[in-house]
Amino acid sequence: MTTERIGRTYRVLLVLLVCSLAAAVPAAAGSSPSEGARPTVVLVILDGCAAYSLDLLPSEAYLRQAAAEGFYQHVRTVFPSSTAAGHAAILTGKWPDENGVTGKQFMGSDGTLNGFSSPQLLEAPTVIERAAKAGLRTACISGKEGVRSLFGEDADLAVSPASVPSWVLEEVGPPPDESTQYEDYCGWYEKLDRWVIDVAGAFVKEAGPGAFIVLNLAGPDKVGHRFGPVPAPETTQCLISVGEALRGLTGVLEEVAREDWAVVVTADHGMTSVSKAIVPSELFGGIADDGLAYSLDGGVLYAWPTPTTEEAVVSALKGAEGVAEVITTSDERRALLHASHPRSAPIIAIARQGYMFTESSAFMEYTKGSHGTLLDTDVMVPLMVYGPQVVKTGIGISEIGDTVEIAGVLAELLGGLGD
């Protein structure tokens, strides 16, 4: 059924449609969308989905069927294998030391730690920005507010559960009620991902042909952290549910964009099973009182010591159970890992397989998955492209090995975006 449906998209469909370009969603400055002038491309970022997770899904899962119908392979995300850096690499086509998004947090000039939540921190243009300049309608629809706030500024429609424009409330309705999240954790995230995809469908209809839509689906990450990666049944079910919603989006794309659409599916990072904690407050003891700021990102710890605490911090980390590697300022590995940006922490520690950095070992009772390291399960992510526009452009992805190359694929599918 699904295979037939996807296959159908490769044949020319004569569909008469009434294309409404009503300005319920504000148009990008200078844009003048015209029917059929540009394809519609949807970038789906499965937050926290390791490549092997897709391979382990049952064969009837839509994501498996779409992979078989289009092109599919494993590619490598950046270090650290975490959300902000992973998304920035995909959307800018640049490494962390080139785009400025170096991890979860960085030390601000005021001496406090900041998250990557402002587009001013991006040091390279995103595909969203380039697509908007090229006259395409654009949307950034995210299950995570941080992704919306970092990448949504240039989009005609920017949505997260924490920021829902009235147009979305009218067309699709509100996201699932946050107060009910813990009654049925997996079900709640399945609903959230379905809502994100429903908003995408509504935007595709509203925009008409010629649009670029970025989706962040938070469920695989949130459920994976709590229950562990596939084959954990909860995370498996989450990805099956995401696939069913994407099957529905394919139907919308067929209606609106006829034979001029493509979907690109990838992930910002993977997910690894963990059972043991590395607790920095226990590790550093009194060092922190003498001047040490640090930030935890699952499999990675970033530390900003003072000159007087640096040696003790490195020594504590190197002697800690569960720490695989400690990267200092002068380490040659830093350049190889693209961790040489001024925002990159002077000390970076990476956890061994099965361990994660956390504030308290008590958190491990309900944390079964983590990411951030250089393990294959954290850095190898899926790259899948399907839809008739893939065939029309003759695009191949077999040469692509890193997620930073996906921006080039998107630009090509969108008909070329210039620089």
Nearer to Zn ion, 83 or 126 (CB): 83
Nearer to Zn ion, 63 or 381 (CB): 381
Query: How far apart are alpha carbons 224 and 222 in whole angstroms?
Result: 5
Going from the C-alpha of 257 to that of each of 40, 353, 391, the distances in angstroms are 6, 45, 15
Nearer to Zn ion, 48 or 243 (CB): 48
Nearer to Zn ion, 28 or 91 (CB): 91
Q: Whose structure tokens read 């970038």?
A: 43
CB burial readout 365-395, b (16+ within 10 A) else e: eebbbbbbbbbebbbbbbbbbbbbbbeebee
Smallest distance, Å, CB 173 to Zn ion? 26
Q: Are 210 and 138 in contact (CB under 8 A)?
A: no
Name the segment binding Zn ion (CB under 5 A); options: 72-80, 187-195, 265-273, 308-316: 265-273
Query: How far apart are alpha carbons 238 and 147 in whole angstroms?
Result: 20
Is residue 193 at the binding interface for Zn ion, with CB under 5 A as the rule?
A: no
Q: What is the DSSP letter of 163?
A: B
Tokens of 242: 């995401």
Query: How far apart are alpha carbons 31 and 181 in whole angstroms?
Result: 39
Nearer to Zn ion, 208 or 270 (CB): 270
Among 47, 193, 198, 206, binds Zn ion (CB under 5 A): 47
Is residue 378 at the binding interface for Zn ion, with CB under 5 A as the rule?
A: no
Is residue 83 at the binding interface for Zn ion, with CB under 5 A as the rule?
A: yes
Q: What is the DSSP letter of 402?
A: B
Is residue 268 at the binding interface for Zn ion, with CB under 5 A as the rule?
A: yes
Name the segment binding Zn ion (CB under 5 A); options: 42-50, 192-200, 306-314, 383-391: 42-50
Binding mask 214-253 for Zn ion (x = CB under 5 A): -------x--------------------------------
Name the segment binding Zn ion (CB under 5 A); options: 43-51, 128-136, 355-363, 409-417: 43-51
Q: Which residues bind Zn ion (CB under 5 A)?
A: 47-48, 83, 221, 268
